[in-house]
Amino acid sequence: MTEEIEKTRVQEIAERTNGSPPKCFIQRESNRPVLDASLAAIPIIDLSYEESKDLEQREIEDSKLRSASSSGELFYVLGHGIPTSLIDEVRNITRSFFNQPKQPLKEKLSYTSDMPNPYFSEGYETDVVVSNEQILDWNDKLLLNVYPEEERNMDLWPQKPESFREVVNEFNEKILILVDVIFKALARSLGLDEVYFINNGSKGRIPWRFNYYPPCSKPDLVLGMKPHSDGSSFTIILQDDQVSGLQVFNNQLGWLNVPVLPYALLVVLGDEIEIKTNGQYKSVMHKVVTNSEKERISLSMFILSELKNEIGPIDELIEDGKPKLYKSTTAKDYGADFFVKFSQGIRPLDSMRI
């Protein structure tokens, strides 16, 4: 049955079964979601100081970032300078790609790579199946390498809606500026030169994942995406402005629902930054739950190091008398290990601890 699912898409299954999930999507009892979880208190960081050059305000916001990062919290950023109209357009092209009446499944499948990577399949895909025992996630995705431009495979970029490529290019220009602002803030908050991460290849690759979660008639039994931390330095998420679904893990309170702020962008620290900071900053455990009545979309942009880069504790952040807590590896090797373990529901960061 799992092999059959691999050859189709979750949206098609949901439409055919009226949202009823096949057995291979049903979570084990110990891993089933709590839909009425409490709301998380998400820090909001105002980046408008970058434009105003207000150093006092910058210190206040950097302090909030340091507090969130060291305690494993995700955080929202406002004052990012991205027009609300552009954010609306990004959401619109995402919904249109998955749902446009003139975009039948056959056409969407034309954006599937004919040379799929077993664990990182660019294009229009669903969960990677590695075994018949695997419990699948209730989502489809469009995964595109957006930055650097020379890494783009334009054959996999949708031509419908017609504005798709133009909107992605415009949003990408804004995101690249935002990535630098966040990297500078992270570096300053750690006592490093503010261009440390920028000059060391941490902004090497930025794949975008457009996510689609169809309605599911059994949201208490199924996950839109399994619990995980990201393999990135950090991930920027544009959430659905109408439907919530993201949950974050809190060590004291367990799983909490992430509230939606329509024009804020969510920043989720990943494994790369935890390894590089020798555990001073924590990657964030999160997952996605489903909705019985409404579809949900989102966009995740993963800020990854250049493939040749070493991922290991930064010497300047090793405190006197304290050992390195993580092994070193290359970004390429960690990425390969990440996708194998992610498919198995295992956190790859655990294997990096010394």
What is the value of pTM for the model shown? 0.95
Contact of 35 with 26, CB cutoff 8 Å: no
Contact of 47 with 22, CB cutoff 8 Å: no
CATH of domain 2-352: 2.60.120.330
Contact of 90 with 299, CB cutoff 8 Å: yes
User: What is the three-class DSSP state of 327?
Assistant: coil
Q: Is the dihedral of CA 329, 326, 233, 262 positive or negative?
A: positive
Give 193-221 pLDDT, tens digit per residue. Answer: 999 999 999 999 999 999 999 999 999 99
Residue 30: DSSP 8-state: G
Beta bridge partners of 287: 247
Q: Determine the Cα–Cα distance for residues 118 and 232; give it in Å rounded to an integer.
A: 19
Give 236-277 pLDDT, tens digit per residue. Answer: 999 999 999 999 999 999 999 999 999 999 999 999 999 999
User: What is the three-class DSSP state of 86?
Assistant: helix
Residue 303: DSSP 8-state: E
Amino acid (one-letter) located at 240: D
Q: Determine the Cα–Cα distance for residues 76 and 228; give it in Å rounded to an integer.
A: 19
Distance, first Cα to last Cα, the chain: 39
Starting at the earlier edge strand, list the strands of the sheet with 75-78: 44-46, 75-78, 265-269, 234-239, 296-303, 206-213, 140-147, 123-126
Say what the pLDDT of residue 345 is: 82
Say what the pLDDT of residue 1 is: 47
User: C-alpha distances in angstroms, 328 versus 112, 172, 195, 296, 354?
Assistant: 34, 30, 22, 37, 10
Say what the pLDDT of residue 344 is: 80
Give 35-60 pLDDT, tens digit per residue. Answer: 999 999 999 999 999 878 889 999 99
Q: Determine the Cα–Cα distance for residues 305 and 310; give it in Å rounded to an integer.
A: 9
Q: Which residues contact 60 (CB under 8 A, 6 or more apart)?
A: none
Q: What is the dihedral of CA 223, 229, 232, 233, to 10 degrees?
A: 140
Amino acid (one-letter) located at 58: R
What percent of the chain has a predicted confidence (pLDDT) above 90? 82
Q: Determine the Cα–Cα distance for residues 233 and 305; give it in Å rounded to an integer.
A: 8
310: which 2 tokens?
Answer: 């070493």
Q: Determine the Cα–Cα distance for residues 257 and 280; give it in Å rounded to an integer.
A: 25
- What is the helix (H) or strand (E) element at residue 18, kind and residue range? none
Q: Determine the Cα–Cα distance for residues 314 and 273; give it in Å rounded to an integer.
A: 10
In this predicted structure, the answer to whether residue 286 has a pLDDT above a threshold of 70 is yes
Give 129-153 pLDDT, tens digit per residue. Answer: 777 788 999 999 999 999 999 999 9
Q: Determine the Cα–Cα distance for residues 264 and 82; give it in Å rounded to an integer.
A: 10
